[in-house]
Structure 1
């Protein structure tokens, strides 16, 4: 299977980088006390360090919003999913416990202020691509049973003509959601730098470590950017 980022995406920001991890033979489970404790600690630290009025100034959030604006998406109406999640936390809310993999991915996202999506590969049957939507693209909203048509010209993450994430990093589909039975998972992280101190590398390291040590799985790891816009896995 291929994963490709259309060259037009890098015209929005030449530094966009997509960290891809393929988790194999994952043994997901109900959330343990230790799993939830990590999530709550991440939430508490975010509340202590970030004020609501400074949320949009967070490095990655600011850049996600800029890319969305340049692509024609209004981030005030369709905020990056992590911005909405962080806003909920900073205002005193807690994320619900779902399962160990989802909760720990959320913890890593909060700890590093980065967009991190996990997609169950059993629901993905065609090549993956980040591109502008085309006529015939469809989307199954979370919790829905009927597909919706996707307007042409919107930045999306898609498998064939089935959109996995609508309006770039706004909302994931019902297809690919992570459950206790998820064992082969496609992780997509979005950053703008990749070095030892970058949130992207740290987050990829954390997810790789969790897949191997917490979930007894294996990992294949890739970096996609303007100089390497396609991979096969």
Structure 2
């Protein structure tokens, strides 16, 4: 088995364009993602109800949603056409729809997103070297759409989350690539939790705490790292061994 390393960077240009932005990263291994988790489904329904109480009126005007819409405009995306993940999730819940239970790790991401009204995505962590960066798209980048469509080349300047030249998420938090699904057999993942002002960093830290507690209780996974990345500490490195 190849040793697994994680090198993770928030690019200087993203931090310069979006002062006060931070991303919480929680790395998990040894999760049992095949467990039946009715307690998580109950927590998901509770989080949906909480969001419906917290968000009244036009969802686009809520400060934590409006911040993402403005950020998208800054790098040239139309927020009415390409909604940040948290806005898309909130709108679905406010229809009102019930979110399906996918598997424990995905459910945990959705619960935390709804509780804190923050994007909280989960990605499998592959073997070998993982060179992760939140940065501007550049020539040579490629994105495999989750619907199986032809590969896409994001326009230069779009904010993407990438492993080398392989784009894992387009438009910051908009859509994950086909290869980034967290499946029942997935045991090793990392969560990304994003905070844009006026969201305080304490809210991101609280969401990270929720991820840690839910992972331990409902998957038996080990949290091997939890780091808040920001302008003050824009990078992290981790060696998980074989």
Q: Distance in 2 between matches of 1:218 and 1:76?
A: 39
Q: Distance in 1 between matches of 2:41 and 2:68?
A: 27
User: Quick check: 1:140 aligned with 2:140?
Assistant: no
Runs in 1 of length 4+ with deviation above 3 angstroms? 123-126, 192-195
- Provide structure 2 residue ranges, at least 5 long, that are not aligned to the other structure: 1-5
The TM-score, its normalising length taken from structure 2, stands at 0.89
Q: Distance in 2 between matches of 1:68 and 1:125?
A: 30
User: Quick check: 1:218 aligned with 2:184?
Assistant: no
Q: Distance in 2 between matches of 1:115 and 1:124?
A: 27
Report the CA distance between 1:88 and its aligned residue: 1.1
1:155-178, CA deviations, whole angstroms, 9 ceiling, x for partnerless residues? 100000111110111111111211
User: Quick check: 1:82 aligned with 2:82?
Assistant: no
CA contact (8 A) 2:143 2:168 kept: yes
Alignment partner of 1:44 out of 42, 49, 65: 49
Q: Which moved more, 1:172-181 or 1:143-152?
A: 143-152
Report the CA distance between 1:59 and its aligned residue: 2.8
Report the CA distance between 1:29 and its aligned residue: 2.1
User: Quick check: 1:9 aligned with 2:14?
Assistant: yes
- Provide structure 1 residue ranges, at least 5 long, that are not aligned to the other structure: none
User: Quick check: 1:232 aligned with 2:220?
Assistant: no
Alignment of 1:50-61 (within 5 A): 50-53=55-58, 55-61=59-65
* Equivalent position of 2:29 in the other structure: 24
1:102-161, CA deviations, whole angstroms, 9 ceiling, x for partnerless residues? 112201110110001100012785400011111111111113175322222211000001
What SS does the aligned partner of 2:184 have? coil
Report the CA distance between 1:58 and its aligned residue: 2.5
1:29-74, CA deviations, whole angstroms, 9 ceiling, x for partnerless residues? 2542211111111112222332241x12333222222222112222
* Equivalent position of 2:122 in the other structure: 118
Report the CA distance between 1:14 and its aligned residue: 1.2
CA contact (8 A) 2:109 2:191 kept: no
Report the CA distance between 1:189 and its aligned residue: 0.7
* Equivalent position of 2:3 in the other structure: none
Q: 1:130 to 1:124 in 2, by over 3 A?
A: farther
Q: 1:92 to 1:158 in 2, by over 3 A?
A: same
